[in-house]
A and B are shown apart, each in its own frame.
Chain A
Amino acid sequence: MNETSTETLSVVVERELSYPPEKIWRALTQPHLIEEWLMKNDFKPVVDHRFNLRADWGAVDCQVMAVEPNKTLSYTWAAYGLDSVVTWTLTPTSTGTHLRMEQSGFRPDQQQAYQGAKGGWPQFFAALEQVLARID
């Protein structure tokens, strides 16, 4: 858990796709297509637009941050107390497109959004870390 207490965490998933950026862009930005691979949504490729991604397990609150057609798209992603930003980057290659998704978020004690005793989180994690250290 030490890694979690130092800085912002992020997840990167990348893939080479044999399709042009324009086609992938459509899949990333048209609501009926987004629904097919991600979740039900009311997305619009407009900066500041607020939208939800909905699944049977819950909803994700989002807001569009940046739109550069066929190149980059980013939106905030808030769910389960995790405030993060999802950024898609499309880079054309000789065979198609390199698609990169980065989701970066903040450790719990940096968050303003927590209800209850905000200051309690770091102690909670510290206590937990001690407990976990004793368990295999």
Chain B
Amino acid sequence: MLFRTLADPTRRALFERLCREGEKTVGALTARAGVSQPAVSKHLGVLKQAGLVRDRHEGRQTHYSAQLGALAPLIDWTSQMAGFWQNRFDHLEDLLKRMDQ
């Protein structure tokens, strides 16, 4: 999901800018994105769904900011997978207990 979300160059550029420059409005992001405002909003929606950005409404403006914590699995997939496999090993052991010899 994270990789897929960030595989799109426009989306990645938007996210990178939010990381670098902090919170921004859709308007400010559109000004330098090279695509239309609806397109920017759509990309931000996808980023939000992936947990990579958060939105904050203030008056008629929506401000977006990067959620760096969401990147943890991407930065270090090994710790994610280690937890996953430890958990699977537990299940495997439970199964072995139940299985006939």
Please list the residues of chain A having a beta carbon within 8 angstroms of any beta carbon in chain B: 1, 4, 9-11, 13, 15, 17, 19, 23-24, 26-27, 33, 36-38, 58, 80-82, 99, 101, 103, 105, 108, 114-117, 120, 124, 127-128, 131-132, 135
- The stretch that binds A, out of B4-12, B28-36, B38-46, B53-61, is B4-12
Alpha-carbon distance A13/B82, docked complex (angstroms) = 7
Taken together as a complex, chains A and B put the C-alpha atoms of A103 and B89 apart, in Å, by 14
Chain A residues with Cβ below 8 Å from B76 are 1, 4
User: 8 A-B pairs, CB-CB below 8 angstroms?
Assistant: A1-B76, A15-B89, A37-B95, A103-B81, A116-B9, A124-B6, A128-B75, A132-B68
Which chain A residue lies CB-closest to B16?
A127
Complex CA distance for A2 and B78, rounded to whole angstroms: 14
Main secondary structure of the interface of A (DSSP, over half): mixed
State whether B96 touches A117 (Cβ < 8 A): no
B residues contacting the other copy or chain, number (CB 8 A): 32
Q: Is the CB–CB distance between B92 and A37 below 8 Å?
A: yes
State A1–B1 Cα separation when bound (angstroms): 20
Cβ-defined contact, A82 with B77, below 8 A = yes
Contact (A17, B3) CB under 8 Å given A101-B85, A117-B9, A132-B68: no
Kindly list chain A residues whose C-beta atoms are within 8 Å of the C-beta of B92.
Answer: 24, 27, 37-38
Assess the B82–A11 pair: CB atoms within 8 A: yes
Check: B26 CB closer than 8 A to any chain A CB. no
- Whether B3 pairs with A81 at a CB distance below 8 angstroms is yes
Sorted nearest first, the 9 A-B pairs with minimum C-beta distance are: A81-B3, A37-B91, A37-B92, A13-B85, A116-B7, A131-B19, A115-B7, A117-B9, A11-B81
Our pick among A9, A19, A135 for the contact of B96 (Cβ within 8 Å) is: A19
Is A124 a contact of B12 with CB atoms below 8 Å?
A: yes
A131–B75 Cα distance when bound, in Å, is 13
How far, in angstroms, from A4 to B77 measured CA to CA in the complex?
Answer: 10
C-alpha gap A43/B94 in the complex (Å): 21
B16, chain A: closest CB distance, angstroms: 6
